[in-house]
């Protein structure tokens, strides 16, 4: 390295660095690379960000599963109402005797509730459906996707139907669907009044 002496108005000299025909720039040592502390902070920030994203994904997947179960439970509850309505309508269509009532066959098993599916409806020679009493049994789903109690693969859903006489022309029907998912219990209830409007 060659240094040139340059005269200035002040005393002393200012050294210049010269290498051949090109001027060499001095590098600021604080910009040479990352320190260990900077790397640790960067890794920590990326890890926290990834953990937040993974937590959000887990909650989203769990929410989708629960929403699907709630939708199925809502449909099963509505189906329970429709089954009981079917019994009432069939009572009218069968032209019962004068001693028969519009709510014949709609029992409550002493407050325990009943289980019902479309297999428990009227047969060709059957006057009234026979609904079993509720005893905490699970619904099954068959190969065609229909829910019932007779055959198929057991599901996580239970359906309990409670029928209460409000007066001589009104029956209150409450359908409760319950299930357990990921250690938590859930329930959906639907209530409707059936009337003797005929």
pLDDT at 182: 85
Q: Tokens 């920590």: give the residue.
A: 44
Average pLDDT, the chain: 80
Quick check: 26 pLDDT over 80? no
Task: Report the candidate in 168, 163, 135 with the shortest Cα–Cα distance to residue 149.
Answer: 135
Q: pTM score, two decimals?
A: 0.67
Distance, CA of 198 to CA of 194 (rounded, Å):
12
Q: Provide mean pLDDT across the span 61-83.
A: 89
Quick check: 131 pLDDT over 70? yes
Q: Provide mean pLDDT across the span 115-127.
A: 66
Lowest mean pLDDT among 61-65, 67-71, 73-77, 98-102: 98-102
pLDDT at 161: 93
Q: Provide mean pLDDT across the span 83-93.
A: 84
Q: Where are the alpha helices (DSSP H) in the chain?
A: 36-93
Distance, CA of 148 to CA of 115 (rounded, Å):
9
């Amino acid at each position: 390295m060659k240094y040139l002496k340059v005269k200035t108005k002040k005393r002393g000299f200012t050294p210049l660095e010269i290498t051949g025909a090109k001027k060499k720039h001095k590098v600021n040592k604080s910009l040479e690379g990352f320190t260990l502390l900077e790397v640790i902070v960067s890794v920590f920030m990326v890890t926290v960000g990834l953990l937040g994203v993974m937590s959000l994904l887990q909650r989203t997947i769990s929410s989708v599963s629960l929403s699907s179960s709630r939708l199925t439970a809502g449909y099963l509850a509505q189906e329970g109402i429709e089954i009981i309505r079917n019994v009432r309508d069939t009572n009218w269509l069968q032209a019962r005797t004068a001693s028969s009532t519009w709510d014949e066959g709609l029992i409550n098993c002493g407050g325990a509730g009943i289980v019902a599916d479309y297999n428990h409806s009227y047969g060709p020679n059957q006057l009234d459906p026979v609904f079993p009493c509720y005893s905490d049994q699970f619904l099954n789903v068959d190969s065609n996707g229909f829910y019932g109690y007779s055959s198929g693969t057991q599901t996580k859903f239970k359906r309990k139907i409670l029928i209460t006489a409000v007066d001589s022309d009104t029956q209150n029907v409450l359908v409760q669907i319950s299930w357990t998912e990921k250690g938590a219990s859930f329930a959906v209830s639907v209530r409707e009044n059936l009337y003797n409007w005929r």
